[in-house]
Amino acid sequence: MLLFLLATAAVLAAWAFWWEPGRLVLNEIELEVPGWPEGEETRIALIADLHVGSPRNGREKLRRVVRRVNETLPDLVLIAGDLTIDNVLGGGFVPPEEIAEDLAALDARYGVFAVLGNHDRWLSAGRVEEALTGVGITVLDNRGQRVRVRGHDTWIAGVADYWTGHPSIDDALEGAGAGEPVILFTHNPDLFPEVPARVSLTLAGHTHGGQVIIPFVGPGITPSRFGARYAAGHVVEDGRHLFVTTGVGTSRLGVRFLVPPEVVSLRLARCESCESPPE
């Protein structure tokens, strides 16, 4: 019995600390959201919490992420923050300039956009933003940009991190046209209760899905004031839609269990049964 328990513990440790952190899965999701234009589906690739330099998650893994994103033929790529790491056990710091060099290979039909996460700001918001903009990635910090996507104007609104920035949804939505579909993305989903109904879809990361799922219990420690409420996946509250990715890297401790690193490919279509967001 003792040998069995020791063997089981060794297998679980190898799974959580070596095998799963090194994985990368593609999570393809079809979403029907309110206020979205009729016609062809819009393909959005969402990545977050790259934490390049965390265990089993170096630049080669980042290049795998980029290749996997490009294989989805996205209309838009949205990067929801935390490119860098801070004090991850067993990790090694990778400069944001090197991270941006690899992200420069992202290929989206209508553009690549990013917001900064708390780890990026702890390092240097200015440095990370300069690295990204230097390779042609648009950083939206409490501001938005109109993009013509598949023949329809779409407002892409980026909101600063809930913890370490000074988030302003109003500033990010300023300039959006009446009835114009809006995609809002930010790092921390704790902002979601404040997002107005006129936003078709909110996207975020930060939680890592808890990094560990305890069988029959649920996500482990989730860095959110709402606990596991916004831990991962598609959430609908009061007719408003949120999607939270579990991200790619790890934070603090290089462990994942039943929460594999992911690239998300969203296919957005109009929800005919949903009430349209107010203008």
**pLDDT tens for each residue of 251-275:** 888 889 889 999 999 999 998 777 6
pLDDT tens sequence across 112-164:
999 999 999 999 999 999 999 999 999 999 999 999 999 999 999 999 999 99
Per DSSP, the three-state class of 190 is helix
Per-domain boundaries in the chain? 2-270
Asked if residue 255 lies in contact with residue 16, where contact means CB atoms within 8 angstroms, the answer is yes
Question: CA-to-CA distance for 92 and 86, rounded, in angstroms?
Answer: 9
State the pTM of this model.
0.95
Q: Taking the CB of residue 53, how many other CB atoms lie within 10 A of it?
A: 23
Is a pLDDT exceeding 60 seen at residue 279? no
Per-residue pLDDT band for 4 (boundaries 50, 70, 90) equals low
Question: CA-to-CA distance for 224 and 206, rounded, in angstroms?
Answer: 9
What pLDDT, on the 0 to 100 scale, is given for residue 87? 74
What pLDDT, on the 0 to 100 scale, is given for residue 213? 87
What pLDDT, on the 0 to 100 scale, is given for residue 40? 78
Largest CA distance in the chain: 67
pLDDT tens sequence across 67-115:
999 999 999 999 999 999 987 778 899 999 999 999 999 999 999 999 9
CATH number for the domain formed by residue range(s) 2-270: 3.60.21.10
pLDDT tens sequence across 213-256:
888 777 877 899 999 999 999 999 999 999 999 999 998 888 89
DSSP class of residue 231 equals S
Is a pLDDT exceeding 90 seen at residue 46? yes
Burial 234-266 (b: 16+ CB within 10 A, else e): ebeeeebbbbbbbbbbbbbbbbbbbbbbbbbbb
Question: CA-to-CA distance for 227 and 124, rounded, in angstroms?
Answer: 28
Beta strands in 160-207 (DSSP E): 182-186, 201-204
Strand 201-204 relative to strand 240-244: parallel, antiparallel, unpaired? Answer: parallel
Sequence-ordered list of residues with C-beta below 8 angstroms from that of 141, at least 6 positions apart, any chain: 115, 116, 125, 129, 158, 160, 165
